[in-house]
């Protein structure tokens, strides 16, 4: 398998609404920036994110059940920030960043993650509930 130099790869140009929706989804998620920084270099299994293990590794803000974590991860997949890992047997329970997710995490590098406003939470919830494209 050829080695890819991620430093020389071109970055994709995303539409502003896409970037805003993805950034809002990240900030409103129950996950910390530490999880996404780990995903920049490796795949992260669902088992590492749930319960007290996720809090200890600075992956989650509070202990999460498997169902809660999986639902949040599926939303981030639908927004375009994450993807599921695939091995020779099929889909696994591990996740990685997409190019959009990588771009957003790099923007937050060294900056505070920030707290979502009530408006952000409401807007994200409505878009998530109705699966709207904006």
pTM of the model as a whole: 0.83
DSSP-derived letter for residue 48 is G
Alpha helices in the chain (DSSP H): 16-28, 33-41, 51-56, 66-79, 99-108, 118-130
The SS3 of residue 4 is: coil
Tokens of residue 4, six digits: 């890819």
pLDDT of 89-110, one tens digit each?
877 889 999 999 999 999 888 7
pLDDT of 8-62, one tens digit each?
556 678 899 899 999 999 999 999 999 999 999 999 999 999 999 999 999 999 9
């Amino acid at each position: 398998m050829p080695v890819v130099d991620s430093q020389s790869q071109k970055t994709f140009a995303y539409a502003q609404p896409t970037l805003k929706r993805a950034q809002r989804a990240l900030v409103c998620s129950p996950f910390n920036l530490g999880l996404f920084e780990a995903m920049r270099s490796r795949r992260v299994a669902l088992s590492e994110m749930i319960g007290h293990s996720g809090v200890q590794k600075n992956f989650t803000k509070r202990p999460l059940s498997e169902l809660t974590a999986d639902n949040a991860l599926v939303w981030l997949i639908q927004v375009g920030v994450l993807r599921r890992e695939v091995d020779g047997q099929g889909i696994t329970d591990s996740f990685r960043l997409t190019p959009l997710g990588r771009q957003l995490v790099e923007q937050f590098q060294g900056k505070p993650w920030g707290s979502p406003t009530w408006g952000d939470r409401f807007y994200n919830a409505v878009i998530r509930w109705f699966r709207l494209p904006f």
